Amino acid sequence: MYNVLIADDEIEVREGLKLKVDWHGMGFAITGEASNGIEADELLQSEHFDLLITDMNMPVMNGVRLLDVCRSYNPSIQIVIITGYEDFQYARAGVRSQVMDYLLKPVTRDELKATLGKIKADLDEQRKVRGDSELLQWRLSQYYREMKERFLLDLVKGNRLPPSSMPERLRLFHLESWQDQKVCFITASMSHSDKQDLREDRLHEHMHLPFEMVCYEITQSDSDIVQVFHDPAHAGIMHFMTPDGVQHEFIQQLAELTASVFSMNIRVGIGRSVSRLEHWKEGYIHSLLAWNSAERAGSRLNPQAGTDYSPLLPEETIRTLHRCLIRGELDSFRSIIHKEIHEAFQLSPSRMTRSIFQISLLMDYPMAPEWILWLKTPDQAERLLMQWAQDFLGRQLPSENGDGTVIESAKRYIEENYMQELTLTLLAERFNYYPTYFSELFKEGAGTSFVQYMTGVRMKHALQLLKDTQLTVWDITELTGFSSPSYFSSKFKRMFNMSPSDYRLQHSEKIDNHDPKK
């Protein structure tokens, strides 16, 4: 429904206009009336109108002056002039103010109806354009946020990124100022009810997405103070990074907002403060461990009480366990975790719990602290971790040998990180292979070379952006990981025998030809 303001000093004219057509049926609502330009001016300043119908010959402030000020309040408003005087002065004022139409008194029913029909069509088109623009901006913001979250996850999980791409990625995601300052990682989720058992607590899973949205909302206006990211493998768990010193104030704000929106508490873990990018993984893991060991009642907002910041499992041990998993070498995996868990248990039960939790992160298992806290002996822990390892391999779509599992994992990694600067050497190192052997392995398992597969994934996403957005070729190059616009364009022409611009034009023409309105 579009709002209409009628300005005319004669009440009979205003009432006559209201009775001549079915305004509501045509999509309009008369929400304002004025008997002179001053009254109309005040209404235009205080309310929103889509259409102004005004007489040009009014007392106090006439229509000529009103048109001059009208556009300053609402540049997109539609204007129709009604007058009993065919005067060039009014026509000139109308041209200057981009008047939609002129109606001579007395206004006939058919003339008014025809004019309103044209205006309605024009307003509908404007609304569609604005809606498409807003949808595009939303899509791009979602796309940008997902890219940024993947980048942050790579950093905190210790995934190796090419050094040459790091400065550009930090700049793209406005993280330059974060890389050298002291930061603190926070892990948070909504806390389950103290009186419900674990099965009944699963009823709260439908609250995961609303909680995530609240977390994004509270950080949206303070990106200089807090960064937020989410691991898709762990629903309902959110991660934050703040400058050291503001973490407790932020947690209090998050707790108050969650309580006011959902009437629920939050479980929080605060990691040790760290400096420099290479230590972000340590701070992130410690926040997860603190979240895991947080008491179930009474101290949710005092997550550092009794937090264990002792050393984590050695990085080499984690890499070896990861290699065993992706290769399906469960006997070797069992041997390593048996040694680590028993040694940790000799130090303290809490150290064993920390080791179990850190190993479980390798398998992207849905994290439930209660499952780990129930474990009392190293043998129980070993059995649980081996069950998770078997489940992990089942999710990897294994083939007849372990190498097939590796290739499936590598293909998924490419699909999730195609916008990054990926190289064969980087991927081989991630899966603990020599590059030459991994290249042959990948080609045999994927049916194509690494470069061809990588290009295919990137081109698939580029095609989608060309069809769904009006982004420039330069922007699409940046968002899909191609090295330069010229390389992207030349590769595109070789693959599709046309330029990216021609592809976009061809696709838009197909949409127009299938438009049911035409």
User: Which pLDDT score, from 0 to 100, does residue 296 have?
Assistant: 42
Task: Give 89-125 pLDDT, tens digit per residue.
Answer: 555 455 444 566 677 778 889 989 999 999 999 888 8
Nearest to 184 by CA among 288, 312, 274, 249: 274
Residue 265 has pLDDT above 90, yes or no: no
User: Which pLDDT score, from 0 to 100, does residue 106 have?
Assistant: 82
pTM of the model: 0.62
User: Which pLDDT score, from 0 to 100, does residue 384 have?
Assistant: 87
Strands of 235-308 (E only): list them: 238-243, 266-270, 274-275
Looking at residue 402, the DSSP 8-state letter turns out to be: H
Phi, psi of 215, deg, nearest 5:
-65, -40
Residue 185 has pLDDT above 90, yes or no: yes
* Residue bearing tokens 């889509």: 50
User: Which pLDDT score, from 0 to 100, does residue 395 have?
Assistant: 64
Q: Which helix (H) or strand (E) holds 229?
A: strand 227-230
User: Which pLDDT score, from 0 to 100, does residue 240 have?
Assistant: 96
Give the residues across from 126 on adjacent strands: none
Phi, psi of 187, deg, nearest 5:
-115, 135
Strands of 244-296 (E only): list them: 266-270, 274-275
pLDDT-derived band at 197 (thresholds 50, 70, 90) equals: very low
Nearest to 145 by CA among 233, 217, 206, 207: 217
Residue 297 has pLDDT above 60, yes or no: no
Higher pLDDT, 383 or 222: 383
User: Which pLDDT score, from 0 to 100, does residue 95 have?
Assistant: 47
Angle value at C-alpha 422, between 416 and 425, nearest 5 degrees? 125
- What's the rounded Cα separation, in Å, for the pair 340 and 321? 11
User: Which pLDDT score, from 0 to 100, does residue 366 have?
Assistant: 56
Helix axes 473-480 and 450-468, enclosed angle (nearest 10): 140
- What's the rounded Cα separation, in Å, for the pair 234 and 232? 5
Q: Round the average pLDDT of the chain to a whole number and report it.
A: 80
Nearest to 351 by CA among 389, 312, 380: 312
Give the residues across from 182 on adjacent strands: 275
Please give the average per-residue pLDDT across 249-276, as a whole number: 89
* Residue bearing tokens 């768990």: 237
Residue 144 has pLDDT above 60, yes or no: yes
- What's the rounded Cα separation, in Å, for the pair 356 and 375? 10
Higher pLDDT, 405 or 26: 26
Give the residues across from 148 on adjacent strands: none
Task: Give 203-219 pLDDT, tens digit per residue.
Answer: 456 778 889 888 988 88
Please tell me whether the peptide bond between 369 and the residue prior to it is cis, using omega within 30 degrees of 0. Answer: no
